[in-house]
Structure 1
């Protein structure tokens, strides 16, 4: 693959977006220089250094490990312009002022490398107008790049070409942003607010207008427009608070300033909503100002009341009848909402109708294809389906007729009719007459009048199972490849007859005895016929751990002996994975908790998506790790101590013990590496859809390099002296009120296992010896009344019980 080698990036502007883009570049190990104006007082880099320090305090954290913020090089435009010449990519992310941006371009132009790509991170300014300030030599290498906030977590990045942008420049940048940064790229036309914000902000404005029309409260609307509607769980108004009401107002103003009634027939609905105007005047800018549409006071959440101008109690929920409607199949759901008489149902139909109407009218002007719109709304606004996907699923022509009837009756936001292509021609005839914009041939391009396939860049080949839209053709992992063996718990299959893949099929990929049987069989098959084994289940989570619910019937029928047998079998499975004669690679995405973490650490190697959350969390249900997690901690401590000059095991044990005793979870693959659940030799993959590709290639590379399983060996433990030291600290925590008596009891059992029990310091033990201690402690706890309270509480509510 011919790739653009990004060795260093410059980010211009240390504001909220610029600093967080720089942070994400550090996450993916790209050296970055962050520029801003020279400070008027103190050190010239003061503005940037303050921004870097602020990165360490933000929640959710923009950076995998807070200390890595120091890897960002601080610079200013007065002293460090020469550094620009070392950068392959320059991302401008200063304030949304055309005059400021143009002035900056003139200053940086003489210092840029001849090959560097220059991109403006703007949420809506014209990229073509920005390019006009650049010298002719730079224009072919200039484009727009629009990250969504926060850059680490939001998938969407929009790329925008100008008439002078060389096509290969966009291809090179898309490759880097996709594979290097882990983002989903959509190419947008150079129109106000591009695709996602154009559709999304217009949708939010329309929603606010319909809220006024139907007299609903913000809490009810958020309940209706969150997960129930297949959108971000924060709903409409909470999302606005998170984004920032000033940011939202700015994007609205871009629409107001750059559009009119002739260029956008919905323009009349773009007025700043009275409630937004009132909140802005009060300085209530949302989450960052601790007040917006909602405000948290102690444990209470209040909502803003426009009539009184005060905050009032919130928490009102939607009528459950509409919750039931939203669970119906798409076609039935939309008919029920349209025909409903209550304001909540009519409101829901109105906002969905408005989204279909707006997307169809503007598709040709803002995007190349309907695919770009739907992916932009998935990735930029957290929607389960984009507007065209939902429309197509519900029945293309029938929904189109309902929307047009509302337009003709004057019930829609605009009198603009749906485009002709909606009602006749290829779109109506597609999918065997069912109609729709997404087909096996591609997605509808209204400008060309064809169904256009996805752009075939080499980087896409790394995505063996890319995210597909409804109606698109493409491989789906559930039935891909050749199935070798399959049960209700595990599918064993292969794509190339070289590496075996084990996919767990249980709910949340929980590990049951049947899953363990499947993994045991997978190792046997891999050793006999394949170069390696990859554990990958297609989607999140990797695994939430042992299936406690599946264990309960056996526990009630047979007693603790059934639990001991199940735990013993899990431990045998973990050791079988560790000592397999072919490499076993765990491909981790999402949560790898409890037994999922143990499955990962006992694999020969781990390949983890960056947004993976790994930890031993059994304490939360009143248990200890029972499938080898504590044994792993003790063994790793011994290995790390052996590699150092220190003689004392305890310092190497402390972090692992604390992580298990406090149920600490790495909030990124990077942090999980610092805790010790991932090793320096493990791979972190930025893009979720490249995970399997990398894991398969890693297994093959390990095999071809002559992989041998590690030797089984004895290792030293800290013994009773180490345990006494740990117990002293636990007593202080208990007596100080930091942990409960039951927490103390559980932590004492963890300490006993990781230090090797009642043995002399330095005693050599085996993994099986420590696993026996684990199993005994686990079984003792499961009969404890307080542990049973925690287990039942977690099964019933999904939340930990503190007792």
Structure 2
């Protein structure tokens, strides 16, 4: 066995997908060359440079740190083809034209390194046909690698081999995509539109057909098929508008052109309404009109009967909304039996997809797992279609589908395949069903998946639950302390949004004590991170407010002091404490990791000291750490004036700035450049534990107590005051925001003592407590806190 070493990647095509794939590779610190045609005038790389400039304007942002775009190397096909020989992986991502791709392949193939993997990002063209004309050796290294848009955020990557693709090539590419790029990989067969687009686009066609049959408007259908079904909020027609109706029509046409003998072929022609919109240039969001059109502040919806846009806002009837909240078996039964067009529509689209995946499983995928993950990760469904079927009662649902087929209600007359009756679900503890193997196929045995203690699970698999797995050492309503028999203690919060209240603080102190006694290290990891939950939304304001209401600020001081004590206990623990971060890490949820020996953060971690938004001042040691780090950084360069080291921290806190990613958090200082950024959420715990073990094995000792922190002094505070005045006068902050920012400046500069005066951490923590409690006593702060608790939105006063 040999390792695949990816030193550099080339992406061919600087269009929407190619440029964003390049951006995500740079997020992962993989050197990239982005190719396109040579510009006819000016800079030969003008097309690529324009595309790279455009990336910075996109939302959601393709870059974890926009400044890293400078590391993408622009190239063109006229002067730079020889540089392809430097690349270990070449990804083609040009327009979906077979002839264009073949012409490009003929141009680049002679310049590929003899070991390089060559892959196409096609969304549906035949990989085998694309490889026609290749040498036998290149065919072994060629496959499809289909990213979903936007590549940074969409978890799915489909790998599509040909009959001649080398198995090691696929294994290597799957490993690289999984760990380095953080993707969920499924292997698809070389059939039109592969798995996700094949099933996902069929589901959209089924929605369109059944909506027309039951006379439902586009806005009502979107309300029925979005969040209420556990799917993307953009649902069906809004999703089509966002994707682009021309793109949607192209993908549908691929199915229509290439699946003439399919049992569902009658559904594949581009729907009349979609075709009409494309013909008149109404392409969705990018053209300003599609199924929806924004007029002023109002979103209007197309009336297909008249071709006019009318006031929208149609929603599911209340009875249907209630049905959709029921358990799966009851939900499908009620939808099927309820004589209401919305209920009948919903049952129909469930039935149509169940029918489709049963018939096509063997031809498009190796097993049911790949279909469910492809739809979950590529189309944003909380549950794959086989999972829904199984959860609702496999045999009962199969009988209902068969009855509808016999009654002529289905979109195809083809009966369910025989394998459906031979099993009691698509997923089991043994694996997922594969018709070709006539049995259940286990998970991939690739070594990369051994890093995932809790891989994405499926209904019926009986997978380990991270909330109960391992050996519990201590558990109460606030926290669980547990381990996996590997010498590392894990602390997982149980509070809402993983907020930090007295119970969590007590649990963390106990965790440190237990770790020092019996373990190599401690990792703080939240089980909810696997499903997008926060690391911690900060201090538990709801727990603190009753104390304040009863005894004023003095009653809250013990809680603040205990928060600081816990942070310091973590910092000076005799074993390494590692924070495994993902999702929101705000306020106290940022301050706890700042005191850890190390931090391991998933790329999508959003970190900030945001207390000013609720009228408070950070008081969990975050400003103390900022002042300490600024003094250390200035001292390292021999500076006595700390203005330029304090100012970034001040601006971050005064503007309640939250990082846009873990990479951005490194540039803001919330994470150190030496902290590890993980791209696959399922590997976060593994990597964090590995960090703790490595530190322990290296003879970890906590930092020496910082007793000589050089105070920034009054002159720096005066500079910060001028920044406050400018922000206030410019309307960026309110007058009260200015008062709070002044408190932040006071803490960061050590409370007015002369510049260079040595202070210790206790002094800075005392300043934090003092300013926090004084702010808490202010009526405007109380208005902000109550507003946040009652509405969840910040109050500007």
TM value normalised by structure 2: 0.97
- Equivalence for 2:655: 662
Please say which of residues 672-681 and 212-221 is displaced more in the overlay: 212-221
- Distance, in Å, in 2 between the alignment partners of 1:288 and 1:516 is 49
Instruction: Give the unaligned 5+ runs of structure 1.
Output: 428-434
Q: CA deviation at 1:611?
A: 1.1
Q: Which moved more, 1:676-685 or 1:409-418?
A: 409-418
Supply the distance in 2 between the matched residues of 1:646 and 1:290 (Cα, whole angstroms): 54
1:438 aligns with 2:427: yes
Residue aligning to 1:684: 677
Q: Is the 8 A contact 1:374 1:385 kept in 2?
A: yes
Contact 2:640 2:756 in 1 (8 A): no
* 1:727 positional shift: 1.7
2:794 aligned partner: 800
Look up the match of 2:312. 314
Q: Residue in 2 aligned with 1:431?
A: none
Residue by residue over 1:290-336, the C-alpha shift from the partner in whole angstroms, topping out at 9 and shown as x without a partner, is 43323344443332333343433333332232222111111111111
Q: Is contact 2:579-2:688 (8 Å) kept?
A: yes
For 2:238 and 2:630, the matched residues in 1 are separated by 45
Give me the whole-angstrom Cα distance separating, in 2, the residues matched to 1:793 and 1:217: 37
- Cα offset, 1:568, TM superposition: 1.1
Q: Which residue in 2 is equivalent to 1:768?
A: 762
1:334-359 superposed Cα distances (whole Å, 9 cap, x missing partner): 11111222222222212111111111
Aligned partner of 2:88 in structure 1 is 88
- Structure 1 residues 405 and 571: CA distance shift in structure 2, 3 A: same
Note the 1:449-528 alignment, pairs <5 A: 449-528=438-517
Which position in structure 2 is the counterpart of 1:729?
A: 723
Deviation at 1:42, TM superposition (A): 1.4
Query: Does the CA contact (< 8 Å) of 1:498 and 1:532 recur in 2?
Result: yes
Q: Deviations over 1:412-448 (max 9, x none)?
A: 222221111112x2x1xxxxxxx21100011000112
The equivalent residue for 1:108 is 108
Aligned partners of 1:784 and 1:346: how far apart in 2? 57
Offset at 1:554?
Answer: 2.5
User: Partners in 2 of 1:471 and 1:681 — Cα distance?
Assistant: 41
Equivalent residue in structure 2 for 1:787, among 775, 778, 781? 781
Q: CA deviation at 1:89?
A: 0.7
Structure 2: gaps (5+ residues):
none
| Deviation digits for residues 677-700 of structure 1 (CA, Å, limit 9, x no counterpart) | 000110001111111111111111
Name the SS for the 2:332 alignment partner: helix
User: Following the alignment from structure 2 to structure 1, what is the Cα–Cα distance between the partners of residues 184 and 2?
Assistant: 20
Confirm or deny: 8 A CA contact 1:574 1:627 kept in the other structure.
Answer: yes
Residue 552 (structure 1) aligned with residue 549 (structure 2):
no
Quickly say closer, same or farther: Cα 1:325–1:704, change in 2 above 3 A.
same
- Written as runs of structure 1 = structure 2, the 5 A alignment for 1:741-752 is 741-752=735-746
Shift of 1:793: 2.6
2:645 to 638, 642, 652: 652
Counterpart Cα distance in 2 of 1:747 and 1:310: 52
Measured in 2, the distance between the counterparts of 1:388 and 1:293 equals 30
1:567-590 CA distances to partner (integer Å, 9 max, x unpaired)? 111111111111111111000111
Deviates more, 1:783-792 or 1:24-33: 783-792
SS of the equivalent of 2:702 reads coil
Describe the SS at the equivalent of 1:303: strand
The answer for the alignment partner of 1:324 in structure 2 is 322
Question: Do the aligned partners of 1:442 and 1:451 also contact (CA within 8 Å) in 2?
Answer: yes
Correspondence for 1:14 = 14
1:95-494 equivalent positions in 2, closer than 5 A: 95-260=95-260, 262=261, 264-423=262-421, 425=422, 427=423, 435-494=424-483
- For 2:471 and 2:754, the matched residues in 1 are separated by 53
The answer as to whether partners of 2:608 and 2:659 remain within 8 angstroms in 1 is: yes
1:53–1:607: structure 2 CA closer, same or farther, 3 Å change rule? same
Question: How far did residue 669 of structure 1 move?
Answer: 0.4
d(CA) in 2 for partners of 1:652, 1:310: 58
Q: How many residues align?
A: 792
Question: Quick one: distance in 2 between partners of 1:342 and 1:617?
Answer: 48
- Name the CA shift for 1:711/1:290 in 2 (closer, same or farther; >3 Å): farther
* Structure 2 counterpart of 1:432: none
Q: Output the CA distance in 1 between the equivalents of 2:308 and 2:787.
A: 37
Q: Deviations over 1:119-146 (max 9, x none)?
A: 1110000001111121122011111110
Secondary structure of residue in 1 paired with 2:75: strand
Structure 1 residues 603, 266: CA separation in 2 closer, same or farther (over 3 Å shift)?
Answer: same
Q: Check if 1:582 corresponds to 2:581.
A: no
Say if 1:374 and 1:387, in contact at 8 Å, map to a contact too: yes
Q: CA distance change for structure 1 residues 458 and 782 in 2, over 3 Å: closer, same or farther?
A: same
Secondary structure in 1 aligned to 2:135?
A: coil
Q: Give the deviation of 1:610 after TM superposition.
A: 0.8
Greater Cα offset, 596-605 or 538-547: 538-547
Q: CA RMSD in A?
A: 1.6
Could you report, residue by residue, the CA deviation over 1:719-765 in whole angstroms, capped at 9, with x for unpaired residues?
A: 22222222222223223332222222222222222222222222222
Could you tell me which residue of structure 1 aligns to residue 714 of structure 2?
720
Residues 278/786 of structure 1: CA separation in 2 closer, same or farther (3 Å cut): farther
Q: TM-score by structure 1 length?
A: 0.96
**What residue is the counterpart of 1:599 in the other structure?**
592
Q: Contact 1:441/1:473 (CA < 8 Å) preserved in 2?
A: no
Distance 1:8 1:304 in 2: 47
For residue 478 of structure 1, give the secondary structure of its aligned residue in structure 2: coil
CA distance in 2, matches of 1:58, 1:645: 41
- Which whole-Å CA distance do the structure 2 matches of 1:747 and 1:287 have between them? 40
Q: Tell me the distance in 1 between the aligned counterparts of 2:426 and 2:10.
A: 40
- Separation in structure 1 between the aligned mates of residue 419 and residue 406 of structure 2, nearest angstrom: 18
1:610 aligns with 2:603: yes
SS in 1 for 2:286: helix
**Structure 2 CA distance, aligned partners of 1:223 and 1:776?**
50
Distance 2:773 2:245 in 1: 53
User: Structure 1: how far apart are the matches of 2:271 and 2:793?
Assistant: 38
Q: Secondary structure at the match of 2:453?
A: coil
C-alpha contact 1:269 1:413 (8 A) present in aligned 2: yes
Residue by residue over 1:486-505, the C-alpha shift from the partner in whole angstroms, topping out at 9 and shown as x without a partner, is 11111111113411111111
CA–CA distance in structure 2, aligned partners of residues 314 and 761 of structure 1: 62
CA distance in 1, matches of 2:312, 2:557: 48
Question: Is the aligned partner of 1:642 residue 2:663?
Answer: no
Structure 1 distance, partners of 2:615, 2:305, is 49
- The structural deviation recorded for 1:220 is 2.3
Per-residue CA deviations over 1:352-397 (Å, capped at 9, x if unaligned) read: 1111111111111111100000000111011110000011011111
Q: From the superposition, tell whether residues 310 and 650 of structure 1 become closer, same or farther in structure 2 (CA, over 3 Å).
A: farther
